[in-house]
Structure 1
Amino acid sequence: MKRLCFAIILLTFTQHVSAQLFSKERVQNLENFDKPRFSWGYILGFNSYDYNFDYNEFAEDTDIVVEKGGIGFNVGLLGNMRINEYLDLRLEPMVAFTKRNLIYSGRQFNSEAEALREINSTYVHIPLLLKISTKRLNNFKPFIVGGISTSLNLSSNENNPDDNNAGQFRTKTNTNYYEIGFGIDFYLYYFKFTPSIRGVFAMSDELVRDNDPNSPYTSTIDKMSSRGVFINFTFQ
């Protein structure tokens, strides 16, 4: 059913773009929409988070598989400041929900339960982005976007005194990222609709080490950083 819905949406947008490119009709919706300095909107979307691991030079017999716990979702707001016809500065505070499972390999784990760590994350994610657009073509306008962001992980358990010996995997609360992506503005009859896809890459180590310096869960990891893909639908 999800694949069928996605195919229908994709077909609808393909037909819309084709009509705008090849039709002789040049009626523009919302002709003055982009002229105000500030505009607002809201965001609904999906996310898929992963972890990237760098191991230290002493790591042996260790491999961590990240199993994605399904598609997460995002909800947020948009604040847009128009710089000129082609440049916009955007603030997109949102809440993102996601789940990841870490599966450890190695002889030191006696059961599947010991080798599995479930990580549920709730991020307050705040990106500041520069949007670079092309010239508007009838009722749509492609763009690329990039910038930096910060997040607050409400489920990090960074200050929890328990560690993996008590079954508690801990991550840092604050993380900074860089982001890059692209999308298309569609000017519909009553509002502007913008689907976009964006990659999100953490710039810092998010792992909180266990109290035991020889812990099989954290001692072999030099750096653990999130990376993800956001598919957002913006309504203005």
Structure 2
Amino acid sequence: MQTADIRNKLYLHRTKVVVIWFLLFSGMCQAQGFLYARKNNPFYDEKRKITYGFLIGLHTTAYQVNYSDQFVTPAFDTLFAVTPEWKPGFSLGFIVNYRAHEFLDFRITPKVAFYEHSLIYRFTDGTSDRELVETTMVEFPMLVKYKSMRRGNVRMYMIGGIKPGIEASGKKEIENVSDQLEVTPFNFSVEAGLGFDLYFPLFKFSPEIRFSRGVINHLDNTTNKFGAPLSRINTNTVTVYLLFQ
């Protein structure tokens, strides 16, 4: 029975390996075909200085926290950790792209982004308290795009820049948030990422991944029970963009 079980496991392992190699080989063949296929829109990057489009972004985001001096005082002796959680979200926006050089573009992508940030306050008795912050931000990324040479219908690029953003909703004016974690309505981030331009007959499609790091202190109120143990909050976001131009 043990020998038969080992044989079955080896057979299943070989089957998985064969399937994985088949999928990888199929993907490589498709990529090779797209790379060396007849050029779609061969003069797309030369005929216009300014191009427009739209984007869809899917992101995961989390706070990074620093503790304040009050965290070690008797007032918070039962609190032993504040742990961030990664939360999903999405964004929608437009693209305005200016071609400055064959390999260099300047780009702005105004967008609306929907965020959820969660902090778990863990106590020494084994209990915890989750504080959820939901924000809708209007953001204005200003980016520099450095492109490789186009090969067939593919071009790789690196992108980076800054992203100021302001909260769209006016919750602070209509809600009593004295017993909630409060963050500033403004954020400022630096961004860096990479992607691929894929040229089709009627449009250009660009999958892109980008990391965003908030550089200002996003913590607003440090007087209530959620803000007092903290001295600083920064945002970290990883976004996968689908861009159409």
TM-score, normalising length from structure 2? Answer: 0.79
Contact 1:122/1:153 (<8 A) preserved: yes
Residue 157 of structure 2 aligns with an amino acid whose one-letter code is F
From the superposition, tell whether residues 208 and 79 of structure 1 become closer, same or farther in structure 2 (CA, over 3 Å): same
What's the CA shift string for 1:125-178, capped at 9, x where partnerless? 11000000000011010000000010112357455673343xx33211111110
- Match for residue 184 of structure 2? 172
- Match for residue 229 of structure 1? 238
For residue 59 of structure 1, give the secondary structure of its aligned residue in structure 2. Answer: helix
- Match for residue 43 of structure 2? 32
Structure with bigger helix share is: 2
Aligned length: 215
For residue 200 of structure 1, give the secondary structure of its aligned residue in structure 2. Answer: strand
Aligned match for 1:42, one of 54, 60, 64 = 54
Distance in 2 separating the partners of 1:76 and 1:140: 24
List gaps (5 residues or longer) in structure 1: 1-9
User: RMSD of aligned C-alpha atoms?
Assistant: 2.5
Contact 2:62/2:118 (<8 A) preserved: no
- Match for residue 139 of structure 1? 153
For residue 32 of structure 2, give the secondary structure of its aligned residue in structure 1. Answer: helix
Higher Cα Rg, which structure: 2
Contact 1:158/1:172 (<8 A) preserved: no
Residue 104 of structure 1 aligns with an amino acid whose one-letter code is Y
- State the 4+ residue runs in structure 1 displaced beyond 6 angstroms: 10-13
1:64 aligns with 2:78: no
Distance in 2 separating the partners of 1:186 and 1:206: 37
Aligned match for 1:149, one of 163, 167, 171 = 163
Distance in 2 separating the partners of 1:207 and 1:196: 30
- Match for residue 19 of structure 1? 33
Contact 2:58/2:239 (<8 A) preserved: yes
Q: Which structure 2 residues correspond to residues 111-130 of structure 1 after superposition, within 5 A?
A: 112=128, 115-130=129-144
What is the percentage of aligned positions where both structures have the same residue? 24
From the superposition, tell whether residues 64 and 11 of structure 1 become closer, same or farther in structure 2 (CA, over 3 Å): farther
- Match for residue 177 of structure 2? 163
Distance in 1 separating the partners of 2:157 and 2:241: 14
1:82 aligns with 2:99: yes
Deviation at 1:110, TM superposition (A): 10
Deviation at 1:57, TM superposition (A): 4.1
1:218 aligns with 2:235: no
Residue 133 of structure 1 aligns with an amino acid whose one-letter code is K
Distance in 1 separating the partners of 2:145 and 2:170: 31
Deviation at 1:106, TM superposition (A): 2.7
What's the CA shift string for 1:101-123, capped at 9, x where partnerless? 2210235x9965xx221111211
Residue 33 of structure 1 aligns with an amino acid whose one-letter code is Y
Distance in 2 separating the partners of 1:93 and 1:13: 34
List gaps (5 residues or longer) in structure 2: 1-23, 73-78
TM-score, normalising length from structure 1? Answer: 0.82
From the superposition, tell whether residues 169 and 58 of structure 1 become closer, same or farther in structure 2 (CA, over 3 Å): closer
